[in-house]
Amino acid sequence: MAGRRGNRDKVEDDLPVYLARPGTADQVPRQKHGGLFCSVEDAFESKTIDFDSLSVGQRGSRTPRTAKREAGQEAKSPASESFESPPGDSPRSRSRGGREDVLRNLGDETSDRLLIKGGRVVNDDQSFHADIYMEDGVIKQIGDNLIVPGGVKTIEANGKMVIPGGIDIHTHFQMPYRGTTTVDDFAQGSKAALAGGTTMIVDHVIPEPGNSLMEAYDQWRQWADEKSCCDYSFHVDITNWNDSIKQEVDSLIKEKGVNSFQVYMAYKDYYQMSNSELYEIFTFLAERGGIAQVHAENGEIIAEEQARMLQMGITGPEGHVLSRPEELEAEAVFRAITIASQTNCPLYVTRVMSKSAADIISQARKKGNVVFGEPITASLGTDGTHYWSKNWAKAASFVTSPPLSPDPTTPDYLNTLLSSGDLSVTGSAHCTFSVAQKAIGKDDFTQIPEGVNGVEERMTLIWDKAVTTGKMDENMFVAVTSTNAAKILNLYPRKGRIAVGSDADLVIWDTDSISTITAKTHNSAAEYNVFEGMELRGAPQVVICQGKIVLEDGNLHVISGVGRFIPCTPYPDFAYKRVKARKQLAVLRAVPRGMYDGPVSEFSMSRGGTPSASARTSPTKQPVRNLHQSGFSLTGNPAPCGPPTPDDIPIRPAGRRIVVPPGGRSNITSLS
């Protein structure tokens, strides 16, 4: 790498040539990388022209360069000043000279042009020292000694990490719930997101069963467009399944920029889909290039367990976790993977909350299934012991589905799997209710609105639990907080990467800051924070969203309504390349064989009133034998028939009757 880079001591005059065509996808076929580390799969491919790999000199502790060369480079670029501060210096973003100070204070219009100097650019594949110049909300140049126009605002990163802004792939802002909505609307929620270093959110559109997906989508669009402070996109939840929904899904994919749809295996009699429906939905999505997301819990058993808990007199929040043991989550994950594997559809498991569910996913990935697991902030940061808190309000604030696992080693375990790439992305499932709203279920845990906070704490928490503990490196951190999500949503490399042509959603990450999480200071409107009192290392120092500084020196400057809807296109490579290849292999063929023309035993489909395949449709017995009925049924299983009443069926192994088709040979056209 270093040698390759060394050859390219290009002058910056070449830049415009490459800038003229950012994001050109070339025709070079990408190679497949192995299973375990597939989170960095495709990371090395040239989706955009990586300026950094071409003309950027690498600096810093990793590959220290000779002083001579350093000096030579600096001499070449008189426009840029030399770095005056070593890494580890007091992290201050500063502007150079009084003029820029003035410009910065003028407001947004001037911050269209930004230069981040002296930062260490961290992508999911590599880290290198470079300056970043952005203009009009897009990254224009990356490299040393950039030629930039005068008067740009400059941020001194002082060797700090510059990472792509986080993508929170799972939020529920402004979610209606029984006539009320979650306390964090799109403004509040996206503000909290930005405060935590997340520059894009993907919210779930949840239509009521029976309602139109399209209407719900429009409604959500309207809410988000009005209020969102950062870019956003949508998943749409499929809450029931029929032909008109099918068409809506089709047009959502083709016209509305939605490529991921969530289905529910829980919430019996409400959102829950049967196995057959799941099969149909997955098949449909696989044909259209969509991602199937599942809420994986076995709703039927949960319903039984809930009834049992309430009957036992357990009505508090601990009933929630008792009635939803992690086995049921693991079972549903297993089933979802099976169905997805049958239909050859990429699967995305939302909210991996327990060890056993995570294990199932990592096992399936080892077997080659295309499945992505999403642990959420809460499952990575805390556990379910709080459900037994004596404080009802506190216990209730942890209620979410699937519940947090009471096993206190779960967060550690999930962080490990996240580090190893077995789990792919992190969301927050941010869905906050006030205590008063939670109290709807004060007499019955099944009525407690479900949801925890986490959009703000997500990145910091992962940094603290995984990177500072040595489980994960900074590149993987970028992958799980941002890049993988962008790849799954087919937004890569526009989002999730610091590259020329990408959106200017950047975070300067301060690895050393220590903050204590408390509901008093968080940006969410919720009264409780499930991470209350946790001390976390690592925090965003500067957050740049759409090329504008939104967080600096601890001050948040957000404008409601500037968030844009980012349409996602179908067939994301990250998920579909393998699926496409498998589709070509998975063609089933019949065996060409001579037709069977031997004797056929006499049989009756309706004898005794129980036809094999349609017991449901004809529950009543038909004592009359219908000889005209051919007994051909597509759904028919070779199920036994005929009641075992003594008179009805003689036992006649010896005297069975053989029917030979008249004419000697039946002409069956099915087989050649």
**Among 155, 224, 330, 472, which residue interacts with another protein (rule: CB under 8 A)?**
330
Cα–Cα dist 360/380, whole Å: 17
* Amino acid (1-letter code) at residue 490: N
Distances (CA, A) of 352 to 330, 380, 428: 9, 10, 11
Q: One-letter amino acid identity for 381? A: G
Q: Which token pair is 182? A: 């979650």
Q: How far is the CB of 256 from another protein (least distance, A)?
A: 20
What pairing do the DSSP bridges indicate for beta strands 548-552 and 555-556? antiparallel
Q: Which of 92, 218, 596, 626 binds another protein (CB under 8 A)?
A: 596
Residue 25 to residue 493: CA distance in whole angstroms: 10
**How many residues sit close enough to another protein to count as binding (CB under 8 A)?**
139
Q: Which residue has the tokens 């006499």?
A: 602
Pick the piece of the chain touching another protein (CB under 8 A) from 46-54, 246-254, 312-320, 540-548.
Answer: 312-320
| 8-state DSSP, 595 | P
Q: What DSSP line would sit under 232-295, residue for residue?
A: EEEEEE--S-SHHHHHHHHHHHHHS---EEEEES-STTTTB--HHHHHHHHHHHHHHTPEEEEE
Min separation Cβ 426 and another protein, Å: 20
34 phi/psi in degrees, rounded to 5: -65, 170
519 touches another protein by CB under 8 A: yes
Least Cα distance to 380 among 534, 222, 224 occurs for: 534
Task: Map the footprint of another protein across residues 184-243, applying CB under 8 A.
Answer: 185, 188, 206, 208
Sign of CA dihedral 515, 520, 526, 531: positive
The one segment of 86-94, 464-472, 499-507, 649-657 that binds another protein by CB under 8 A:
649-657
Residue 315 in contact with another protein, rule: CB under 8 A: yes
Judged by beta carbon, residue 24 or residue 276, the one nearer another protein is 276
Q: Smallest gap, in angstroms, from Cβ of residue 632 to another protein?
A: 6
Residue closer to another protein, measured from CB, 92 or 665: 665
Q: Does 439 bind another protein (CB under 8 A)?
A: yes
CB under 8 A: which stretch of 102-110, 495-503, 541-549, 632-640 binds another protein? 632-640
Query: What mask of x and - would describe binding to another protein in positions 334 to 363, judged by CB under 8 A?
Result: xx--xx-xx---------------------
End-to-end CA distance of the chain: 59
Distance of CA 659 to the CA centre of its chain: 59
Rounded least distance, CB 203 to another protein, Å: 13
- Residues from 157 through 186 that contact another protein (CB under 8 A): 172, 175-181, 183, 185
Q: Is 570 in the site for another protein (CB under 8 A)?
A: no
608 binds another protein (CB under 8 A): yes
Query: Does residue 590 touch another protein according to CB under 8 A?
Result: yes
106 is an interface residue for another protein by CB under 8 A: no
With the CA atoms of 136, 137, 140 and 143 taken in that order, what torsion angle do they form, in degrees rounded to the nearest 10? 130
The piece of 311-319, 414-422, 499-507, 553-561 that touches another protein (CB under 8 A) is 311-319
Scanning the structure block, which residue is given the tokens 């005297």?
Answer: 655
Instruction: Using the rule CB under 8 A, give the single segment among 128-136, 484-492, 564-572, 585-593 that binds another protein.
Output: 585-593
DSSP code string of 531-548: TTT-EEEEEEEEEEETTE
Q: How far apart are CA 378 and CA 401, in angstroms?
A: 11
Check binding of 644 to another protein (CB under 8 A): yes
* Phi, psi torsion values for 373, nearest 5 degrees: -115, 140
Q: Choose the stretch contacting another protein; rule: CB under 8 A; options: 3-11, 44-52, 315-323, 409-417.
A: 315-323
CB of 234 to another protein, least distance (A): 16
Distances (CA, A) of 583 to 133, 571, 587: 43, 13, 7
Among positions 247-266, residues that touch another protein (CB under 8 A) are 264, 266
Q: Name residues contacting another protein, limited to 382-401 (CB under 8 A).
A: 388-396, 401
- In the complex with another protein, which residue's Cβ is closer, 353 or 479? 353
> Does residue 270 touch another protein according to CB under 8 A?
yes
Length of the chain: 672
Q: CB of residue 554 vs another protein: minimum separation in angstroms? A: 21
Q: Per CB under 8 A, does 626 bind another protein?
A: no
Instruction: Report the nearest approach of another protein to the CB of residue 38 (Å).
Output: 21
Among 40, 230, 328, 417, indicate the residue that binds another protein (CB under 8 A).
328
Q: What residues between 532 and 551 interact with another protein by CB under 8 A? A: none
> What DSSP designation does 481 have?
I
* Least distance (Å) between residue 543 CB and another protein: 23
Minimum CB distance to another protein, residue 565 (Å): 21
**Token code pair at residue 184:** 């964090």
* CA distances for 663 relative to 593, 632, 659, 666, 667, angstroms: 21, 21, 12, 7, 10
> Is 368 one of the binding residues for another protein (CB under 8 A)?
no
Query: Can residue 586 be called a binding residue for another protein (CB under 8 A)?
Result: no
Q: What is the DSSP string of 334-360?
A: HHHHHHHHHHT--EEEEEE-SHHHHHH
Touching another protein, residues 119-158 (CB under 8 A): none
* Binds another protein by CB under 8 A, chosen from 232, 271, 413, 576: 271
Extended strands (E) in 41-175: 113-122, 127-135, 138-143, 153-156, 161-164, 166-171
246 binds another protein (CB under 8 A): no
Which of 160-168, 240-248, 249-257, 438-446 is the region at the interface with another protein (rule: CB under 8 A)? Answer: 438-446
Q: Compute the distance between CA of residue 29 and CA of residue 534 in angstroms, rounded to an integer.
A: 46
Minimum distance from residue 318 beta carbon to another protein (Å): 5
User: Residue 212 CB, nearest distance to another protein (Å)?
Assistant: 13
Q: Is 325 in the site for another protein (CB under 8 A)?
A: yes
Q: Which range binds another protein by CB under 8 A, 35-43, 110-118, 307-315, 542-550?
A: 307-315
